[in-house]
Amino acid sequence: MAEVKILIAGYTSDDSGEEKTCATITLVKDKNIVMVVDPGVLESQEMLVSALKEERLGISDVNVVCITHSHIDHYRNIGMFPDAKTLEFYGLWDKNTVDDWDEQFTDDIKIIKTPGHDSTSITLLVKTDKGIIAICGDVFWKKNYPKKDIYADNLKALKESRKKILENADWVIPGHSGMYKV
């Protein structure tokens, strides 16, 4: 089974006037895969380096970086991982080449398209000893986030994506807070 750990719990203050935001940055380990999901924006990249160090990992140990969707608060720090492949909506990139990804990425990691918040949204469904964990970016911002996502580009598709995640996962790691049980 794969392992999932939140390296940095995200936050957003989008409803308080001055917006400050940080995507939830997650580590997924599965056999030979060491993946960072949504390396986001941080006050200092050292925060992510330190979080990896706590897991006995360095930047060069990460071999895949996943971007759940194409909003900068989820991908700005992708350049920290120059040797890692990039998994995103359009494919699996290795430097300047791209291949299609298989929905069943590994035995324990499934990728599903989850449009609505953004047309390029993907979700990882990761089989762990706790059950299936959905790492879904901003399909869900945080637990009990208002049903209407003012940044969504397709509310009908978002509703369907949320339904799909809730039907297939035991836990959700949303885009801007800690994990919660479905």
CATH number of the structural domain spanning residue 68 = 3.60.15.10
For residue 128, list its beta bridge partners: 131
Model confidence at 91, pLDDT cuts 50, 70, 90, reads: very high
Structural domain of 133: 3-181
Q: What does pTM read for this prediction?
A: 0.95
Express each pLDDT in 107-154 by its tens digit: 999 999 999 999 999 999 999 999 999 999 999 998 877 667 888 899
Given a contact cutoff of 8 angstroms between Cβ atoms, the answer to whether 38 and 74 are in contact is yes
Residue 156 has φ and ψ, to the nearest 5°, of: -65, -45
Pick the more confident residue, 149 or 73: 73
| Alpha-carbon distances, residue 153 vs 29, 49, 71, 156 (angstroms) | 32, 33, 12, 9
Residue 6 contacts residue 23 (beta carbons within 8 Å): no
> What is residue 17's predicted lDDT score, i.e. its pLDDT?
61
Length of the chain: 182
**Structure confidence by residue, pLDDT tens digits, 22-48:** 999 999 999 999 999 999 999 999 999
Predicted local confidence at residue 149, as pLDDT? 82
Closest among 59, 65, 73, 51 to 141, alpha carbons compared:
73
Provide the number of structural domains found in the chain.
1
Place of tokens 């990139």: 93
How much is the CA Rg of the chain, to the nearest whole Å? 15
Tell whether the model's pLDDT for residue 172 goes beyond 90.
yes
For residue 58, the Cα-to-chain-centroid distance in whole angstroms is: 19
